[in-house]
Structure 1
Amino acid sequence: MPKKYPLEFKKQAIRRYEKGESIPALCQELHISQSTFYHWRNQYRSIQTSAHTYTPAEFDALVRRLQKAEHKLSIIQLSGYLSKVPLQDKLATLEHFHNEMSDLYSVHELCEALDVSRGTFYNHIFRRADRSKYESEKAQLMLKVKQIFDDSEQRYGADKIRTVLAESGLRISAKRVLSIMQELGLHSIRTDAKKVYKNQMRKKQNLLHRKFTTNHPNQVWVSDITYFKIKNAWVYLCAIIDLFSRKVVGYRVSRAASTRLVTTTFRNAYAERGYPQSLTFHSDRGGQYISAAFSKLLQQYNVKHSFSASGTPLDNAVAETFFATFKKEEAYRREYTSERHFRKSVDEYIRFYNEVRPHQTLKYKTPQAFEVTYQGSYIEKPCSYNDAGV
C-alpha cells in the first residue's frame, strides 16, 4: 500500500525546492521517488506572476474565470445582438466610457467592442460639442485631414491631402491644410528621409559584438520574436533571456507582432526582476524594437539598447538558439488544436527550460539553479556562448 505523507510535509519539500534545492537531493534525503516529487510540485508549487503569487488551485480558478469570460464573449459575437442595438444607444455608451474611463480604454478598444467605426464615433463627438460654425467646420476638416494622412500611412504632405480633399468635393488651399497638419502635429515623409534613416541606423550600435558573457544577473538581456502557424493563423512569441543564466525572464504570446507585444513583455519582465539598474537590452533591428514607443520606454528606465547588424542573426545567437530549441523540443512535436493549446505549451516548456532542463554552458545546471547558486554568495564562473548550442 502506497505510503501517505502529511500535507505539511509535502508543502515543506516544495518550498525547499523553490528556494533552490535540487530535486534529486531532496528525493534522496526524504526517501521519495522523483515521480512522486514532480506530482507534489504540480499540486503545491507557487505560481508567480508580476502582480501576485498563486497556489495551483487559485491559478486554476483564474483560468476557469478567463475561459468563462471568453465563452461569454463568443456568445455575444455569435448572437448578433450588437447589430440589433440602435447606433445612437451605442454612441451614447461610447461617449460615457470615453469621458469617464479614457485612461483605461482607448477609443480603438471601445469602438471595436461595440462594433462602431471610429470615424462615426468622432463625428458624433464633434456634432455634440458646443462650437461655433467655424470651429465645427474646422473640427470636421481636421478629422478628414487626419484620416487621409493615416490612410496614406503618414506619406502624404499638404499638397497631396489638398488634392484628395478636392476629389471629394472639398476645395481648400494647401496653406490651410499645412496649418491644420502643424496644429495636429502631423509630419509627412521628408525629402531627406533616406539620410535621416541612415543616421538613425548608424546610432543603433552593437554593444555586445557577440560576447555573450556577463558577470551577474540582469546585466544584459537579449530578445527576439518568433512565429508559429496554428490552423491557418499566425501567432507570435516574444521572449527575453538573461545572458548570465540563460533564463527566460519574460515572454508573451500575441496574435500580432506589434510594438505593444515587445513593450508589454519588457515591462512585465522589468517589474518581475525588481527594476534592475545598469541593464543593457540587445535585439535585432525589427520594427517593434526600433519603434519610438519602445525606445522611449528604455530611455525612461535608463536601459542601454544594443542592436544586431542588419541581416546578421549570429549577433543575437542566444535568442535565435532558444527559439530553435523550443521548436525542436516542443513546438514541432505537437499538433496544436487552438491558440490556447499553444499558449499552454509555451508556459509548460518555459517552466521546464528554466527549472528542469540542464544547460551545457551552465555546467549542466538549470538557469534557476545557476542564479540561486550565484545569489548564495558562490559566484560561478561566467557562462560563455560560442555561437553554438545553449
Structure 2
Amino acid sequence: MDWYDPDLTITEQANLLSINRTSLYYKPVQPSLEDVHMKHRIDEVYTKYPFYGSRRITVHLNKRGVEINRKAVQRHMREMGIAGISPGPNLSKHRLAHHTYPYLLRGLAITRPNQVWAIDITYIRMKQNWMYLVAVIDWYSRYVISWELDQVLEMPFVLHAMERALGQATPEIMNSDQGSHFTSPTYTDLLKERDISISMDGKGRALDNIIIERLWRNVKYEDIYLKEYSTPRAVRKGVRDYFIFYNEERPHQSLEDHSPAEIYLP
C-alpha cells in the first residue's frame, strides 16, 4: 500500500476512498440468540414450504408452540431476504424502476446442458449468525456451475458468482426470480453483453424455479442442518465440500442415477 500516508486524518482517508467517514467507526452489532433462533425456525419452515408467506409461517409456528406475531415474522423475513410465493429469498420488494422479463420456460423442452441456467439466493444458518448463498445451476444436468457466500445481501457476491459461471460457459437462457439483485441493470447488462435471453419467474408462481429450490433443500437437509456450522470459514469449507459431492458423486433419480457432472461435463 504505497499510497498510504500515516499522517492523513480519518476524514482525509475517507475522502480519498469516497466513503462516509462514519462508516469507519461502525462496528456491526451481533444479533441476539433469540433472533438467530427465530430466523432458523423460519428458515426451516420456508425451506419445506417456499410458497408460505408471513401469515402462514406465523400460523405454522404458533401451532407448534412458538409464540410470535406476524409483524415479527415479517421483520425476520425481510432481514433474511425471503418472501412467500417466490422461489428465491431474493428480496420481496424489487425496485419498480427496474425492468422485469417474461418467464421463458413454460412449455419449453430442456434437452441439453447450457440451454437454461438458473440463479438464486438462500439463507444459510450458523449457530449464532447466518450467511447468504448464491448459486448458478444448469437446469438440464442439475450441475452447480458456480456459487458464492457472503454475510450481507449485497450485489457483488451475485456478480462474482455470475462472472465465474460465464467464465466456464454461456447459457442460452438465464432464469431467476424478480428480486432486486436480478432486476438490477448491473446484473442484466452482464447477460445482455453475452446475448443471453433473460427469463424471470412469474409473480406468485412458487414452482417456476423448482430446480434450484430442490438444490436448496438438498444443501440444507444433507449438510447445513446436520453440521450446525459455527463460523463463516467453516460454512465455506462445508458448502465447498458438499457441492463437490453433489456435482461429482451424488446420484440423481431424475438423471437415471448419474451424477450432475456425468451429464454436464463432456
| Same-fold status (TM-score > 0.5) | yes
1:262 aligns with 2:191: no
Shift of 1:324: 0.7
1:322 aligns with 2:218: no
Cα distance in 2 for partners of 1:302, 1:256 equals: 30
Match of 2:102 among 192, 205, 209: 205
TM-score by length of 2: 0.65
Equivalences for residues 5-44 of structure 1 within 5 A: none
Shift of 1:94: 6.0
Equivalences for residues 1-390 of structure 1 within 5 A: 88-90=8-10, 98=16, 107-108=18-19, 115=24, 197=96, 200-201=99-100, 204-209=101-106, 211=108, 213-273=109-169, 276=170, 279-372=172-265, 375=266
Q: Deviations over 1:155-212 (max 9, x none)?
A: xxxxxxxxxxxxxxxxxxxxxxxxxxxxxxxxxxxxxxxxx949944xx10000164x
User: What amino acid maps onto 2:252 in structure 1?
Assistant: H
Structure number with bigger Rg: 1
User: What amino acid maps onto 2:216 in structure 1?
Assistant: F
Shift of 1:116: 7.1
Q: Which runs of 5+ in 1 are unaligned?
A: 1-84, 99-105, 118-195, 376-390
Tell me if structure 2 keeps the 8 A contact 1:237–1:253. Answer: yes
Tell me if structure 2 keeps the 8 A contact 1:222–1:282. Answer: yes
Cα distance in 2 for partners of 1:207, 1:217 equals: 17
Moved >3 Å (runs of 4+): 88-95, 110-113, 196-201
Tell me if structure 2 keeps the 8 A contact 1:210–1:314. Answer: no
Shift of 1:244: 2.1
More helix by share: 1
TM-score by length of 1: 0.45
Q: Highest relative contact order (Cα 8 Å, sep 6+), 1 or 2?
A: 2
User: What amino acid maps onto 1:280 in structure 2?
Assistant: I
Cα distance in 2 for partners of 1:198, 1:111 equals: 30
1:388 aligned partner = none
Shift of 1:90: 4.5
Q: Which runs of 5+ in 2 are unaligned?
A: 1-5, 27-94
Partner-residue secondary structure (3-state), 1:332 = helix
Cα distance in 1 for partners of 2:204, 2:181 equals: 16
Q: Deviations over 1:342-367 (max 9, x none)?
A: 11110000000000001111111111
- Identity across matched positions, percent: 28
User: What amino acid maps onto 2:155 in structure 1?
Assistant: T
Shift of 1:92: 5.5
Partner-residue secondary structure (3-state), 1:244 = coil
User: What amino acid maps onto 1:295 in structure 2?
Assistant: T
Cα distance in 1 for partners of 2:131, 2:154 equals: 11
Partner-residue secondary structure (3-state), 2:117 = strand
